[in-house]
Each structure stands twice: as structure tokens, then as C-alpha cells.
Amino acid sequence: MKLRALKSASLLLTLLAPVPARAEVRRALLVGINDYSSIAQQPGYVLSEQTLLRLRAVRGRPSRKTLDKLDGAVNDAEAMKEMLIQRFGFDEDNVIVLLNRQATADSILRLLQVHLIDKAKPGDVSLFYFAGHGSRIRNLAPKKDNPSGLDSTLIPADALLGVPDIRSKELSRIYSEAPKKGVMLTVIQDSCYSGAASRGAVAVRKMRSQPLDPAVSVDESLSGPLPEDSGVLVMTASQEYEPAAELVDTDLNGAHGAFTWALLRALGASPINERADRIFQRARALMQSKAPMQEPVLLAKKGRNARGLFGQPSDSGQMITVAVGRVMGSVIKLNGGLAMSLHEGCELKRVAHGKSAVNIRITKVNGLSSSDAVFIQPDDGERVQPGDLFALEKWVAPDGALLHVYVGKGPLRADLDRDIGALAELRKLMPVDWVEDPTVHAPTHRLSWDSSTSKWTLTDLATSSAPILIQSLTPNAFERLLPRNARARLFVQIPPAAEMVAALRLENVAADTADSPGKADYVLLGRLCATPGTAAAEYSWAVPDLSEDALPKDRFSALPLRTDWFAGTAADAPAEPLRNALVGLTRVAGWLSLTPPASDNAWPYELVLQNAKTQQILSGQEVRGGEQYKLMLRAMPGASLKAVSPRRVYVFVIDSFGRGTLVFGENLENEFPRIGDDSAELIPLTDVTITISEPYGLDHYFLLASATPIDNPETVFSFSDVRTRGAQPADPLSRLLVHTGTATRGTVTNVPLNWSIERLTLRSRPVK
């Protein structure tokens, strides 16, 4: 569903947020920079006094000449503004947005100080959000003060004019002033290297990172406590040593940073005063389904993790309400949309003391904070007034593609078979390292088919140079193109035959086709058959341009890097197994992205594993073959356990092959908490232990808690590479879960709110 961006000037209504416990003022400074080049063309530019002062702390002079253009940073800042105003009660006059050339270093630093710190009084709330390029700068301070020798930076819009990056320590000094004044400061940075302050992307997607400027360095240390040690909450898109992804096309109106896209979705699906660590947990899970190499950071001490995003007391039981702005005949204009996880078909009920019940149904969602609804009973129209509050009562699961895939197109099978034979001979003769699987080992060069020219092309993956057309598949054609001083690692990417593309028939799979690999979650990847001397091809679905040896040991892709390889001799082979494999991938993606709407009855438990031998709760993200664990429910920190309504509990695992297995919850003695558990921090689900075994890889443990039983859980939560079979259940929540488990399309209506789903992701390895 494509959304039209709503300009703040056109917003007619405001969401009635709960009255805060104290009359604090909420201020925000939002920065979004896509284009760094336009401001650099100013003639006669003179560095400001503030810039000259900042340059005194820098050794050398900035030397950048170009900065890559981004696509989604401005979208991020504008969407964040809309979320703050419509969802969290920020006054528009107190939300300052700097876009592109407005976001100079002087403006950012001045408004950080004046708007967020100087104007604020004890008890006020301040938010700084940055979306744009990040980088690093060499820091020559003693290793004890700066072990990595590098500091993170934010790149301002005027960086190409000789203005230095905004250094993390500059920011920290400003941030640290907030807690001294009693101001609740929240910092959100979606930029590269932002674990210490910074933005970028996965593989062929656009990067929000820039290399450090070799001409400059600093020698500085911080004195006093770090901002987070004093109560400042910091969320960053990535670790201090890694880039951050920018997604080309999302369900939130075009390009966005992967972290911001996930954060906006998590905020919309959470109670307004949800704990910060729970928001972060949801955002992290969503983000890593799209950006596996990116690990976000939450810095929240002094109890900030257990409070709301802006430091307010957390209240996960708060009802979601949306206000009526106008009633235009049979149409009700609501000031709430995707920011509240509302979709066409959702039903809401008026909450007004002393007034009769009125039910409405959403017919159109106009954006993050606007939607149209109609009365379920037409006669109710005269009894609804602007300002009336409606609470979400029945939810509708959005219907859309779970994945985007790129298929490509090759020549006819007969012509392709001829080329495959030539490539098989070439593999025997050429002295290069032939990469069999680019999802395991990253190649340095790629030979691929260009359908626009009907030619093979060679691409040097280490440079940005254009692919080179290959005139003939012979050793002589490659000798001058491959490096002589280093052994090349060559991957030959075989295209699908035209007959196979026609036979795939992906129209009934919950995946859309992308027009380029850069817009795809998976590409149809072909290779020469791994058996030497065999002139044949085999295919799989693979994450584009991502390999295991490029992933840090402590990182993984939430989605499988690839499916099995499939081969065949028929003209349309292997279309059928590839289609089934894609169904399996979309099923996994569906479970990873399933985020329920915020409920007024949030359940205060999470799933943990307890080592059966040591009784220790698993603290890391890695397990070994042969280890045994018990399934436990753990009360969330700070959660009230009084009068918690019991729920049916189901635990299922999706392994690295995409196979689902129900491990607990057959609708027999699966209601928790039980009598006597109301004060227990740990509750065992069962005495049965699970043993870590093959297949090793990435395993997702899901905890689903529902106020009502799930129809036939063994069918819903257990699956392999075929569609789940069985009668369509009558319960809307069960129908939603069946749709998710089968990776099929179809809007599911009237889903109740009293359910939740959480995910624990672990990497399993063989016995040491």
C-alpha cells in the first residue's frame, strides 16, 4: 500500500494524547540530510566564527570533495515529526526540522544547545533525531581513553565547504547538560557508526556511511560521566564500527533508514507509554529481518530502559485511542493511521463516559496520522462530535507482500546450455579461484548475463566501475581483465532460462517482484553445478551480495542467506522446487514481521532458556549441539504481576532450514500464569527439555500468548517446505496465524487485541 506523505501544514486534527503527570514541555530537533552537494555550490562561502572555533580542536583541515546522495533521510525526519505530533503529543511549534542544506553544523549544534537544553526546564522532555551520513575521525588520545583510536561523527550538510564533522565528544558534552537541569533527553541516531554517534546500507542498497577524512584528526578525551550514565537515553542504528542500512522501498512511503523504518512500525504497534527497552526489542527484530549485518544499540541506564521513550512512567496497559476531527456526512475523519498500526477494516468503539456506544470501521488509511471511517450502524452519525475518542477494538492484519524478489531473465534454454558448456570448459582452463557459493565466500569479481545487451559482463566488485562486456567465453577474453598481482575470486552467475522464468508462476506467493537486485530481499541466483566437469546449472534464492565470511562472528542474518540449490534438465526446471522454497522464505519473513497491535492488556512475560545442567539463564545468542535447555517464562523487569489475566502459551521454533516445530502448547495445561505464580519471576513451562541438534544455524524461538485457544496449534506452528493443510479456522486470530504460517495473501479481519508474540533468536553450532 503506497502512502501519500502528509505535510504538517495540512494536518487539521491532533491526536488527544493522555495528559502527562506533570505539565512538561516536549521539544524536538529533527535532522534529515539526503543531498550534501547543493550547499557546496555556494560562491564566496565564508566559514563562520563557530566553525573557526571548532577547527581549533581539529588537526589538519577537512578535505572531502564528494559525498554520496541518500534517498530516505528526509523521509525519516518528516515521518518522525508526524509520529511525535500525532502519536506522542508534541506541539508542532516545539518541533524543529532541519532538512538538507538547512542542516549545517552551526544550526545543528546551536539548536541542540538553545532549543533542547537552554529553553528546557526541570521536568521537560527533549529529543534529538539525526538521519544522514555518519563517519569517523582519528583520535590520538591515549588508548585508555579511546581504545579504538577512532571517534564517530555526524556529517553536516555543509561538510563539503570545509566544515568539520560533528564529533561524538562534542555531542556528548551537550547531552550531559540535560540531566544536570533535570531534563529528560532522548537521542536517536540513524547513521553509520552510530553506536558511538552516526548511517549506511546492506550490500547493493545505498550506504549511509562515508570513509573517514584522512586529512584530519583530534586529540581529546571526555571528563565526567558519559551522558547515558547520567540518565540520557540513546538509541543508535548500528555499532560504532559498522554501517547502517537504507531501504529503497518500504511500506512507509518510499525509502527509509532500516532502523527508522523498524522504529516507526514498533512505535505504532506499542502502547504510547511502552517501556523503551520493549520498543527497542521490537524495532531490532524488525530491522534485522531487512538489514542482517546491522546491530542497533540501546544505551539506557539509571532506570531509563524501564521508562517510556521520553522518560515518562511506563504503562503498557494504556488504551489506544484516536480522536474524531470532523464528521462529513457518512465519513468520519480520524487523526490516526499507520502510526497507530491502523489498517482498512479495523473497528473502533467510542469511549466516552455517559455516552452510548458507537462503532466505526476504517475504510481508508491516508498516511501515518490520517484515516477515514464509516459508521457500522448508519443511524449513529448524528451522535458523534469532533473530539470524541474511539478505541481500537478489532484489528485487521494488513495484506501485502512479505518479500521482494528479483528474478532476472536469460536467453532461451538452448542458448543458455551452449554458454554453460563453454563456461564449464573455461573453469578447467583459467587459473582463478572459482567461487561456488557467494553466500559463503565473497567473490572479488562476478561474471553475469546482461539481458539488455544479451552479453556476458564482468564486474569488479571492489570498485564502482561499470561492468565490462565480454566478447567471447574464452581464456583470452579474461586475461587482461582480471588482476595479475592477486588471485581473483570469480563467481559465475548463471541467469534463469526464459522458459524457467515463465514457469515460476509467483502470483500466488506473498512476494512481489523487484525491478533490480538492489530493491530485493532475495535474488534468483544461478551457478555452475558444483561438481567439476559438469556442464549444468543449479539455482537458489539468496540474499543479494551478502556472504557468511563478511558477517562478524557475533552477527547473523535474521532471514536465511539462501535456500538449497536446485538443478534440473527440463527447459523449465527447476521452477517448482524454487517456488516451494520461496513459500518457505515468505513464511519465515511473515513470522519475523508479525507485530500485533498494542493491547490494553499487555502480558508481562518473555521467553528465556535455562540450562538444564547449570540452571543458568542463557545470556548470549549462541548455543552448542548437545546442550539441553528448559523453556521458562520470565517476568519483565519492573512489570506488575498483580491480577495478570492468564493466557494460552505456545512456543514454536523455526530452524535454519525454515522448518517450524511446535515445542510447547497443545491446548492442554498451557494457561499461564497459574495459581501461585503471581509473584514468581521465573515460571517453568514444562519439565521436558529441548536438546540442541542439527540442522545448525539460525533458530528463531517464538512465544505466542493468547487470551483464547489457537485452533489446531500443531498444524499452525509445525510446517516444512509445503503449505499447511487443514480446514480454515473460525477464530480470526487463528486465521491470521494460518495465513502467516502458509505465506499466503488475504486480509484477516476482526482480529482481537489480547494476544502478543515475541522472538528469541539464537545461533546454534556443532559440538566444540
**Do 537 and 600 have their domain in common?**
no
Q: Please indicate, yes or no, if residue 77 is contained in any of the structural domains.
A: yes
Closest CA to 346 of 373, 370, 312: 373
Q: What distance in Å separates the CA atoms of residue 246 and residue 250, rounded to the nearest whole number?
A: 10
At residue 556 the predicted structure's pLDDT band, cuts being 50, 70 and 90, is low
Looking at residues 660-666, what average pLDDT do you find? 91
Do 552 and 618 lie in a common domain? no
Structural domain contains residue 679 = yes
State the cell numbers at 766: 556443532
Whether 417 has a pLDDT exceeding 60, the answer reads yes
State how far Cα 523 lies from the chain centre: 19
Report the alpha-carbon distance of residue 683 to residue 670 in Å, rounded: 12
Are 373 and 487 members of one domain? no
What local confidence, expressed as pLDDT, does residue 270 receive? 78
Q: How many domains does the chain have?
A: 4
Helix (H, G, I), strand (E, B) or coil at 763: strand
Instruction: Kindly list the distances between the CA atom of residue 704 and the CA atoms of 130, 356, 667, 733, in Å, as whole numbers in the listed order.
Output: 35, 35, 13, 11
The pLDDT-based confidence of 232 (bands split at 50, 70, 90) is very high
pLDDT of residue 146: 64
Pick from 370, 397, 424: which residue ends a domain? 397
On the question of pLDDT at 517 being above 70, the answer is yes
> Where would I find the H helices in 299-373?
none
Contacts 24+ apart (CB under 8 A), 635-638: 635/604, 635/605, 635/680, 635/681, 635/682, 636/275, 636/278, 636/604, 636/605, 636/606, 637/277, 637/305, 637/306, 638/275, 638/306, 638/314
What is the structure's pLDDT at 15?
28
Phi-psi region of 336 (alpha: psi -120 to 50; beta: other; left: phi over 0): beta
385 and 455 assigned to the same domain? no
Domain containing residue 349: CATH number: 2.40.10.410
CATH number of the domain that residue 711 is part of: 2.70.50
Using the structure block, give the residue that is written with the C-alpha cell 565564508. Answer: 46
Share of the chain above pLDDT 90, in %: 36
Pairing status of strand 445-450 against strand 489-493: parallel
- Report the distance separating Cα 126 and Cα 114, nearest Å: 11
* DSSP state at residue 374: E
Q: Look at residue 510 and give its three-state secondary structure.
A: coil
**Domain presence at residue 421:** yes
The parent domain of residue 759 ranges over 594-765
* Domain-located, residue 588: no
Does residue 475 form part of some domain? Answer: yes
- Residues whose CB falls within 8 Å of the CB of residue 696, separated by 6 or more in sequence, listed in order: 625, 656, 764, 765, 766
Say if residue 250 is in the same domain as residue 382: no
What's the first-to-final CA gap in the chain, in angstroms? 48
Least confident of 179-193, 611-625, 667-681, 740-754: 740-754
**Bridge partner residues of 245 (DSSP):** 207
Please, are residues 438 and 543 in contact by the beta-carbon 8 Å criterion?
A: no
Query: Tens digits of per-residue pLDDT, 724-764?
Result: 344 566 678 888 887 787 766 566 777 888 888 888 888 88
Residue 17 lies in a domain: no
Alpha-carbon span 590 to 744, nearest angstrom: 10
Cell 494457561 sits at which residue? 671
Q: What is the pLDDT of residues 599-639, one digit of tens each?
A: 655 788 999 999 999 999 997 788 999 999 999 999 887 77
Instruction: Check whether residue 213 and residue 177 sit in a common domain.
Output: yes
| Contact between residue 621 and residue 763 where contact means Cβ atoms under 8 Å apart | yes
> What's the confidence (pLDDT) of residue 734?
82
294 and 169 share one domain: yes
Burial of 64 (0-12, 13-18, 19+ CB in 10 A): buried
* Pair 276, 228 in one domain: yes
pLDDT at 1: 28
Q: 430-444, 460-474, 730-744 — which one is most confidently predicted on average?
A: 430-444
Cβ of 559: how many Cβ atoms within 10 Å? 21
Query: Which residue type is seen at 2?
Result: K
Same domain, yes or no, for 173 and 292?
yes
Query: Is 378 in a helix, a strand, or coil?
Result: helix
Instruction: Provide mean pLDDT across the span 511-540.
Output: 86
Compute the mean pLDDT over every residue in the chain, rounded to the nearest whole number.
Answer: 83
Q: Transcribe 569-596 into DSSP letters.
A: SSTTTTHHHHHHHHHHHHHHHHHHH--P
Which tens digits make up the pLDDT trace of 124-170?
999 999 999 999 888 888 765 666 788 889 999 999 999 999 999 99
- Residue pair 20/312 in contact (Cβ under 8 Å)? The answer is yes
Question: Mean pLDDT, to the nearest integer, of 522-528?
Answer: 94
- Asked if residue 428 and residue 341 are part of one domain, the reply reads no
CA distances from 691 to 643, 657, 686 (A): 34, 17, 14
- Nearest alpha carbon to residue 735 among 725, 748, 746: 748
| 745 part of a folded domain | yes
Residue 267 — very low, low, confident or very high, per pLDDT cuts 50/70/90?
confident
Among the three residues 336, 371, 397, which one is the final residue of a domain in this structure?
A: 397
Q: Which of 264, 281, 306 is the last residue of a domain?
A: 306
**Count of residues in the chain:** 768
DSSP H or E segment with residue 420: helix 413-429
Residue 565's contacts (CB-CB under 8 Å, 6 or more residues apart) are 527, 530, 538, 539, 540
337 with 200, same domain: the answer is no
Enter the pTM of the model: 0.70
Whether 240 and 360 share a structural domain? no
Q: Is residue 589 included in any domain, yes or no?
A: no
